[in-house]
């Protein structure tokens, strides 16, 4: 150290002494994580300077794109696989295969963790997603099937195709909630299932406990009787349908991790949480946690009561073509074709990838009563916000993050109008993935033009005016 002109201070001496005689790195010290799983979560919360300065509000983005496989889906994939292993449904290095239907992020996270944990991975993906996602999946060694985007009730929809492939793998069949067909007859929602309509579910989210949820189990097709537990199955190659839309592990990943991180990082000083919904796991998991901690237990809350001052307001960011906006605002999901012409999410090429749906998923239902409001965001607004963030903050993000940021600005300006600007409203949103996954579509002006969006502009002055 003296040769290099460095002080040999106490700390360095201690580290040298500690390292002596040891041949392994001390993982438990927290300085070294064990494998890629250790890099998941605990993402930073960043102030988006341009939007905060322009609005006079604090607009904060949870940098989920920094997860190792590039999105919050790393948390979900890890929770799904850990839960399945804990239930004895999956055993590493047995040739078992994870199946999933995904627009990309969940597939990339599952394929990454499948490599790290010792599984095969098979992904069914719509053929209109940005091609770099498919390239990445190939590099990760996933088996890939591209299918035309279709409505969820169509057996060839990517989620149904993935379920069918999992069922066909080996001689296993699905039981439990995964075995049920989606509950809609049309690409629409049965409002009688709305938890806000049932008095039991109008209590705080405290009624959502792990015990209330039926977690998937699998049985052997042939001779398994009802009493036989999955643990009694011999270990062997299994097909496992991850089912991010209906599998409650998704909700719990965010309820237990993302939500608490946001609460800690803001010291509880946040006024609103804003996020889009693809499966709804991020929105409803964070919403349920943030409502729980921000509401005093004796007051409680319900869907129809306006969020009070100390309660975190939860806002859905909904892209053009999604039916969820009306569900949150008016309690009824309607088919967007009635009002928005031909464009229909998951049926024709969509501009925004990953968020916007026309049905209630199990994961969204689990926190539905915690969502107070919704902001609709057009493809044009999202495109301009995407370009604004690159040019003003050096933030190169995907389409769903752009939608979230537009909705976060709209929410912040509404809060400011309602409550004044002292103290400035604090709004947290999710920065889902990097723009590098969207180079050939959302960030390609020509490709956007073909989808009907004039995407050259980074002018967001109309959005900043509220």
For position 321 contacting ligand PMP by CB under 6 A, the verdict is no
For position 279 contacting ligand PMP by CB under 6 A, the verdict is yes
Stretch that binds ligand PMP, among 139-147, 185-193, 195-203, 352-360 (CB under 6 A): 352-360
For position 81 contacting ligand PMP by CB under 6 A, the verdict is no
- Binder among 142, 277, 366, 427 for ligand PMP (CB under 6 A): 277
**C-alpha R_g of the chain:** 23
Q: What is the Cβ-side half-sphere exposure of residue 438, based on CA atoms within 13 angstroms? A: 27
- Binder among 83, 246, 381, 433 for ligand PMP (CB under 6 A): 433
Q: Contact, 240 vs 89, CB < 8 A? A: yes
The structure tokens listed for 373 are 């409001």
- Closest distance to ligand PMP from the beta carbon of 83 (Å): 16
Would you say 99 or 169 has its CB closer to ligand PMP? Answer: 99
What does the per-residue mask of binding to ligand PMP show for 38-77, with x meaning CB under 6 A? Answer: ---------------------------------x------
Count of residues binding ligand PMP (CB under 6 A)? 19
- Binder among 307, 355, 366, 428 for ligand PMP (CB under 6 A): 355
Would you say 281 or 425 has its CB closer to ligand PMP? Answer: 281
For position 278 contacting ligand PMP by CB under 6 A, the verdict is yes
Stretch that binds ligand PMP, among 13-21, 233-241, 274-282, 303-311 (CB under 6 A): 274-282
- Binder among 61, 126, 281, 336 for ligand PMP (CB under 6 A): 281
- Closest distance to ligand PMP from the beta carbon of 458 (Å): 21
For position 288 contacting ligand PMP by CB under 6 A, the verdict is no
Site for ligand PMP in 158-197 (CB under 6 A): none
Q: How far is the C-alpha of 279 from the C-alpha of 251, rounded, in Å?
A: 9
Would you say 202 or 436 has its CB closer to ligand PMP? Answer: 436
- Binder among 103, 366, 408, 415 for ligand PMP (CB under 6 A): 103
- Closest distance to ligand PMP from the beta carbon of 43 (Å): 14
- Binder among 282, 326, 347, 369 for ligand PMP (CB under 6 A): 282
- Burial of 298 from C-beta contacts in 10 A (0-12 / 13-18 / 19+): exposed
Stretch that binds ligand PMP, among 9-17, 145-153, 350-358, 419-427 (CB under 6 A): 350-358
Would you say 61 or 425 has its CB closer to ligand PMP? Answer: 61
For position 257 contacting ligand PMP by CB under 6 A, the verdict is no
Stretch that binds ligand PMP, among 177-185, 194-202, 279-287, 447-455 (CB under 6 A): 279-287
Kindly report the number of other CB atoms within 10 A of residue 359's CB atom. 23
- Binder among 41, 195, 280, 323 for ligand PMP (CB under 6 A): 280
Residues that bind ligand PMP (CB under 6 A): 71, 103-105, 276-283, 353-355, 398, 400, 432-433
């Amino acid at each position: 150290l003296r040769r290099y002109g460095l002080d040999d201070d106490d700390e360095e001496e201690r580290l040298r002494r500690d390292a002596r005689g040891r041949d392994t790195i001390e993982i438990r010290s927290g300085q070294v994580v064990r494998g890629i799983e250790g890099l998941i979560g605990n993402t930073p919360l960043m102030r988006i300077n341009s939007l905060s300065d322009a609005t006079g509000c604090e607009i904060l983005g949870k940098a989920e794109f920094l997860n190792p496989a590039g999105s919050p889906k790393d948390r979900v994939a890890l929770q799904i696989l850990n839960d399945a292993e804990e239930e004895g449904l999956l055993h590493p290095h047995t040739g078992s295969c994870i199946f999933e239907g995904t627009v990309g992020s969940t597939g990339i996270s599952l394929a990454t963790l499948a490599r790290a944990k010792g599984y095969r991975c098979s992904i069914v993906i719509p053929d209109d997603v940005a091609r770099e996602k498919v390239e990445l999946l190939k590099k990760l060694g996933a088996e890939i099937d591209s299918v035309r985007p279709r409505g969820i009730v169509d057996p060839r929809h990517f989620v149904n195709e993935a379920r069918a492939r999992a069922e066909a793998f080996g001689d296993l069949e699905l039981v439990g909630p995964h075995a049920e067909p989606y509950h809609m007859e049309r690409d629409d929602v049965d409002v009688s299932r709305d938890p806000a309509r049932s008095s039991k579910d109008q209590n705080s989210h405290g009624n959502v406990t792990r015990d209330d949820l039926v977690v998937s189990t699998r049985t052997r097709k042939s001779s398994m009787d009802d009493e036989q537990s999955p643990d009694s199955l011999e270990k062997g190659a299994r097909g496992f349908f991850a089912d991010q839309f209906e599998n409650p592990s998704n909700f719990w990943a965010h309820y237990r991790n993302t939500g608490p991180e946001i609460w800690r990082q803001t010291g509880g000083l946040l006024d609103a949480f804003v996020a889009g919904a693809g499966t709804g796991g991020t929105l409803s998991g964070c919403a349920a946690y943030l409502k729980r901690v921000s509401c005093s237990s004796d007051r409680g809350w319900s869907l129809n009561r306006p969020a009070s001052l100390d309660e975190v307001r939860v806002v859905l960011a909904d892209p053009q073509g999604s039916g969820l906006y009306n569900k949150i605002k008016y309690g009824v999901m309607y088919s967007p074709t009635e009002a928005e012409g031909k464009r229909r999410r998951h049926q024709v090429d969509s501009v925004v990838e990953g968020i916007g749906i026309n049905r209630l998923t199990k994961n969204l239902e689990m926190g539905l009563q915690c969502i107070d409001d919704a902001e609709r965001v057009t493809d044009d607004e999202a495109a301009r916000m995407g370009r604004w963030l690159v040019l003003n903050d050096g933030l190169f993000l995907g389409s769903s993050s752009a939608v979230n940021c537009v909705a976060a600005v709209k929410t912040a300006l509404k809060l400011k109008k309602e409550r004044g600007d002292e103290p400035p409203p604090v709004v947290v949103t999710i920065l889902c993935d990097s723009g590098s996954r969207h180079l050939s579509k959302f960030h390609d002006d020509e490709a956007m033009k073909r989808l009907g969006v004039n995407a050259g502009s980074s002018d967001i002055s109309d959005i900043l005016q509220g």
